[in-house]
């Protein structure tokens, strides 16, 4: 569940509550699903949370999404990054895929006008924890430096 200060259409300083909603059938459907659940915000996965492969949203999808968003009673959307990402990994293949996927996730979040991207930064997987934290921080900084345009905030979730 997401809690954020309200602004814009719903007004006031009351807490805003939301749920993780499905994108099945199209991104434009998240707003109706959120409204049906009386949400003031929603969280989504931009693609399958169990897959490395996905494409950035194309122009027709972005237009449909923007139209649904403009008609909705709320506009705040948060994206949860793939569970596969492990920015702290010692494995070079996992590290490469994690960096590439996080970059695409942030680009998608920017294109969708998301309020933030939620990320589990990773795990040492039994290795040296301080070194794992350093690897994660370095890779996250690398991604933030490479994402074009104004990226939404990256929200690190405890793991």
Roughly what angle, to the nearest 10 degrees, separates helices 92-112 and 129-146?
A: 40
How far apart CA 71 and CA 74 sit, in angstroms, is 9
- Look at the block and give the residue holding tokens 């139209």: 67
Confidence band, pLDDT 50/70/90 cuts, at residue 42: very high
pLDDT of residue 114: 97
**Residue 102's closest CA among 125, 132, 133, 79?**
79
Phi-psi region of 73 (alpha: psi -120 to 50; beta: other; left: phi over 0): alpha
Find the mean pLDDT for residues 19-48.
Answer: 95
Q: Are strands 2-5 and 15-20 parallel, antiparallel or unpaired?
A: antiparallel
pLDDT of residue 50: 87
Inter-residue contact 29 to 50 (CB < 8 Å): no
Phi, psi angles (nearest 5°) of residue 151: -80, 145
The residues spanned by each domain of the chain are 18-156
pLDDT digits (tens, 9 = 90+) for 92-135: 999 999 999 999 999 999 999 999 999 999 999 888 999 999 99
Find the mean pLDDT for residues 2-24.
Answer: 66
Structure tokens at 128: 């040296």
What CATH number labels 18-156? 3.20.20.150
Q: Are strands 41-44 and 77-80 parallel, antiparallel or unpaired?
A: parallel
């Amino acid at each position: 569940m997401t809690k954020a200060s309200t602004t814009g259409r719903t007004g006031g300083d009351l807490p805003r509550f939301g749920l993780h909603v499905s994108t099945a059938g199209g991104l434009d459907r998240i707003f109706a699903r959120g409204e049906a659940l009386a949400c003031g915000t929603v969280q989504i996965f931009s693609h399958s949370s169990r897959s490395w492969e996905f494409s950035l949203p194309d122009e027709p999808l972005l237009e449909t999404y923007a139209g649904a968003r403009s008609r909705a009673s709320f506009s705040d959307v948060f994206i949860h990054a793939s569970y596969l990402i492990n920015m702290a990994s010692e494995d070079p293949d996992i590290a490469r895929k994690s960096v590439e996927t996080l970059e695409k996730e942030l680009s998608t979040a920017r294109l969708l006008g998301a309020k933030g991207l939620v990320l589990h930064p990773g795990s040492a997987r039994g290795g040296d924890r301080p070194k794992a934290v350093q690897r994660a921080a370095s890779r996250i900084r690398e991604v933030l430096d490479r994402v074009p345009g104004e990226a939404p905030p990256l929200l690190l979730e405890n793991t």
